[in-house]
Structure 1
Amino acid sequence: MSLRGSFLGGPLGFGAAPLGNMFRDIPDDEAVATVEAAWQAGTRFFDTAPFYGAGLSEIRLGNALKDHPREEYVLSTKVGRLILDEKETGRTGFGDKDGLFEFGLKNKIVYDYTAEGALKSIEASLRRLGVDRLDFVWIHDLAQDFHGDGWLAQFEIARTGAFRALNKLRDEGVIKGWGLGVNRTEPIELLLGLSEPTADGSLLAGRYTLLDHEHALQRVMPAAQKQGVGIVIGGPYSSGVLVGGPNFEYKRAPAEIGPKVKALSVLADQHGIPLKAAALQFCLAHPAAVAVIPGASKPSRVKEDHAALGTVIPADFWRDLRAQGLVSRSAPLPIDH
């Protein structure tokens, strides 16, 4: 099925990675309050993953949504990793990025892109979330940033394993659709080139933002648009650096990022708009984009996101953005529609 039109409540979803204690130890009540703030603001699409805090994000999201009717929201999670009962004696989880979830649960995590692994992962996610079904399932981190030069071998395991298992679940009506959930463009390019099995969309994080969109713009987005495959945009604020945070690519931003962020901020100030608004609306301006899912760990951040999406941005801002070379000249902008 096409992802377009699948997201109740509009294109602004909720990325639940922060609920896994990404970067900081978030109190349980604050996590639940953040999800409830999203609900009250009209969010009806929630995305999580077993990797986020070794199951903590799924547990918290399920707890926060338990009093809301299941048919009134869209839920996605991911496969490709299994959370084991045994505890991790070193850093939190297998394949963790520089202790990204060091404040999460201490369960060991192993990769598993086989069909059996995907089904086990879904079963465990349903238990943690406390629900009887999922809407979309993304195959997680099947890319160079986690597997290095071995990513193509892992992709082949998934192609003959998890891909086919999810395709079958979709065709049987158990889930609405599936695809990849990655931080790199190459795996989605490869997926779009396959004739079988057929994905319904993918979640691309951090690769279609004001700061970084050239590769996705050239390869992934046009192919997805042509095939009618929807792209959910994750990480619209480039790990926070676009909205005043210190991180880019999930770690401290390198010095060369600063000048471009500064130029974008100056332009936004000149036009009297928050840069967050431009960041969100830029992502959704591409015809292939069907939703955007910024992460939030505080109720106030959720309110900012909804306000940003509703901000009226002057056409001159977008014209200046393009004229100053701060975005690719071929990137679709809201004024192009």
Structure 2
Amino acid sequence: MPDCSVAVGGIRLNNPVIIGSGDHVMTAGALRAARATGAGAVVAKSINENAAAKRQLDGSDHVLLDSRWRKVPWDFDPPDDAMLFGRSGLHQMDADAWIAEVAAEDRAAAQSGQYVIGSIILAGLDAACDLARRYQAAGIRVLELNIGAPHGDEAVKGAIIQERAAHRVREITAALRAAVSIPLWIKLTGQSEDVAALAEAAKQGGADAVIVMGRFMALVPDVETRAPMLGTAGALGGPWALALTCRWLAQTRKRVGKDFALLGTNGARSGLDVARFLLAGASAVEMTSAVMAGGFDVARRAVREFSDYLARTGGSAGDLVGLAADRQVGYGVQPDRPGYWREFVPPEAR
């Protein structure tokens, strides 16, 4: 059997597949179903203290679209090009009750070498620190702080904070780091001109790892109704995002160094996609939209396909991390090929 294990900021996962936080992991039963896939970890549904963020869940809606922006059935068997477009809110359960459930599932996960990770989405910083301390007191072993939730600009003011300023990322991370001693992962927005700078700020603030990167906000006009699909803007995820995320992983690896743990999210649909993220610099990969749209078997297949890939190509999961990123060179060192551009334009344009 190949060695699929990976090191992520002081802990070791059985494999690099992580089921990311979302509506599909909002109950204890869902967390158990997620663990049953064999994924290395599961990030539980996020919480914060804000009542408006919780109410936002009641207005949630989603649609699956193909690459020509046509709706496809929500039958948990989406086409390969399916994109998830939608909006959601945070867990409405009492915070202490949910924390207790997540901690209990994490204790059970430890028996199989897996993790169930607590997740907080930023609203107020003091409240986030308090929730972090409560998670740690309950025995949770890893905590994720999401400061890159895509819905931040659309939500009721103050319900969800999306941080794009490096100095604020540093301050927020430092405050959480002072509040808890357990491994702290910071999830960053992709809606920034310099994701790598945000990652560097999180590292300086004391993060054990950063997650690159949250989904993008989008607007999808419906040509039949001439109105926005779902009536609002929403977060958009799909396979198209993989290459964008991989580029920022590689850039971030250059910025923060090879020894600082990065996780990738936004675009992974398969075990080979997990390998692509690792080659770009991630140590592990969160799969969220794909699991929500395709069910938990998506993660199960990804774990198996990634293992099969290592068995076929040799080496360990850790050996893959950053290989493609470190071989990336600039435009200036490419060979001159006068006239080669003509191969890529219509014949009448040559």
* Of 266, 277, 285, the match for 2:279: 285
The aligned amino acid for 1:201 is A
- State the alpha-carbon separation in 1 of the partners of residues 29 and 116 from structure 2: 21
Q: Which runs of 4+ in 1 moved over 6 A?
A: none
Say if 1:16 and 1:61, in contact at 8 Å, map to a contact too: no
Indicate the SS of the match to 1:199: coil
Matched with 1:320 is none
Matched with 2:184 is 177
Distance 1:30 1:78, change over 3 A: closer
1:31 equivalent in alignment to 2:72:
no
Q: 1:34: Cα distance to partner? A: 1.2
Distance 1:119 1:31, change over 3 A: same
For residues 163-220 of structure 1, give each alpha carbon's deviation from its aligned partner in whole angstroms, at most 9, with x where no partner exists: 22223356xxx21234334344546323245484343321124679852355545555
Matched with 1:303 is 300
Q: Report the identity percentage.
A: 9
Indicate the SS of the match to 1:50: coil
1:14 equivalent in alignment to 2:19:
yes
The aligned amino acid for 1:306 is V
Say if 2:28 and 2:102, in contact at 8 Å, map to a contact too: no
Matched with 1:332 is 324
Distance 1:236 1:306, change over 3 A: same
Indicate the SS of the match to 2:210: strand
Indicate the SS of the match to 1:168: helix
Say if 2:19 and 2:41, in contact at 8 Å, map to a contact too: yes
Q: 1:291: Cα distance to partner? A: 0.2
Matched with 1:221 is 250
1:77 equivalent in alignment to 2:118:
yes
Say if 2:149 and 2:214, in contact at 8 Å, map to a contact too: no
For residues 34-86 of structure 1, give each alpha carbon's deviation from its aligned partner in whole angstroms, at most 9, with x where no partner exists: 13413xx3x342223226642568676445445344794444333343xxxxx
Unaligned runs of 5+ in 1: 22-27, 82-110, 243-275, 316-329
| Paired residues for 1:158-169 under 5 Å | 158-160=169-171, 162-169=172-179
The aligned amino acid for 1:211 is W
Say if 1:209 and 1:282, in contact at 8 Å, map to a contact too: no
Distance 1:290 1:209, change over 3 A: farther
Indicate the SS of the match to 1:285: helix
For residues 132-182 of structure 1, give each alpha carbon's deviation from its aligned partner in whole angstroms, at most 9, with x where no partner exists: 233243343267x5238x95687655543x222223356xxx212343343
* Of 146, 157, 177, the match for 2:152: 146
Distance 1:277 1:215, change over 3 A: closer
Say if 1:45 and 1:75, in contact at 8 Å, map to a contact too: yes
- State the alpha-carbon separation in 1 of the partners of residues 246 and 298 from structure 2: 28
Distance 1:167 1:186, change over 3 A: farther
- State the alpha-carbon separation in 2 of the partners of residues 153 and 175 from structure 1: 25
Give aligned pairs, total: 234
Calculate the TM-score normalised by the size of structure 2.
0.51
